[in-house]
Amino acid sequence: MTATATVTGLETRGLAKAFGGVRAVDGADVTFHHGKVNALIGPNGSGKTTFFNCVTGMIKPDTGTVTYDGRDITGKAPHRIARAGIGRSFQLCRIFPRMTVLENVLAAVRPPSVPLLLASARHKGDIDRARELLTRVGIEHLESVEARDLSYGQQKLLELAGVLMADPETIMLDEPAGGVNPALIDRIAGLVRSLNAEGRTFIVVEHNMDLVMSLSDHVVVFDRGRPICEGPPSVVQNDPRVLEAYLGI
């Protein structure tokens, strides 16, 4: 991965998505910056995951634009957005439960031919890289275990390894600490910090406020489908609009 000199990475302008009469994302203007750990927070139902899905091509927005490095990626297919340099994880881990840990990581780049890949010396580079990433996230000793036999936290680490296999410049994580024990939360936080130090940008949706405030450089707060506040953690956590959205005070 080559770090970019561009400050602004991902931008949305007027982004909107409705489901029936519910405007899940409502004219959202958001900017996330390259080289930073950005967080997207807000109460349940504030539109964070729908926003992620619109950005990454899982669903098409009704109106508005998504640009990345100045390129319009609005409504593009997920594989095209991935090729543009954006990887993502999901609230509920998307893994192949009956495939091994190693096979899952390889499937991130060669899904149709994993068995052939494992049997072929021509793809040794891919296999070596997959093993390096398993070591990086700390589950290399589980490479032959079926993914369904991992703990939920280990599945989160496996999903992250799969995201990294595609070598994205920007990584979008949807609740990486959800359902994970404190020791694995610390490991995930350490991975985000080290990967960010190497030049990768992060956009993280998370409800664990201690993690958000300790990890993030820039925080965007959503309420009712649009941003109501943004800035460094020290500013955001004391903003009265944020306290009202979360606590009703």
| 192 or 179, higher pLDDT | 192
CA angle 135, 140, 141 (to 5 degrees): 145
The shares of helix, strand and coil residues in the chain, as percent rounded to the nearest 5, are: 40, 25, 35
Looking at the domain 1-85+181-249, which fold is it? Rossmann fold (3.40.50)
User: What is the reported pLDDT for 44?
Assistant: 87
**193-234 pLDDT, tens digit each:** 999 999 999 999 998 888 999 999 999 999 889 999 999 998
Residues 6+ apart with CB under 8 A from 176: 89, 156, 160, 188, 192, 204, 206
Instruction: State both tokens at 205.
Output: 């949706």
**8-57 pLDDT, tens digit each:** 689 999 999 999 889 999 999 999 989 999 999 998 889 999 999 999 99
Cβ 138 vs Cβ 101: under 8 Å: no
Hey, what's the torsion of the CAs at 83, 132, 158, 120, to 10 degrees? Answer: 70
User: What is the reported pLDDT for 240?
Assistant: 82
- How far apart, in whole angstroms, are the C-alpha atoms of residue 136 and residue 75? 33
- How far apart, in whole angstroms, are the C-alpha atoms of residue 163 and residue 176? 13
Secondary structure (H, E, C), 187-213: HHHHHHHHHHHCCCEEEEECCCHHHHH
**89-148 pLDDT, tens digit each:** 988 888 989 999 998 998 887 655 555 555 554 567 888 999 999 999 999 999 999 999
* Residue-range domain boundaries for the chain: 1-85+181-249, 95-167
- How far apart, in whole angstroms, are the C-alpha atoms of residue 36 and residue 92? 25
**163-187 pLDDT, tens digit each:** 999 999 999 999 998 888 999 999 9
* pLDDT tops 90 at residue 154: yes
Residues 6+ apart with CB under 8 A from 172: 52, 55, 56, 86, 87, 88, 89, 202, 203, 204, 205
Cβ 24 vs Cβ 225: under 8 Å: yes
Which amino acid, residue 109? V
Which amino acid, residue 190? G
* Global confidence as pTM: 0.89
Distances (CA, A) of 45 to 2, 22, 200: 36, 11, 28
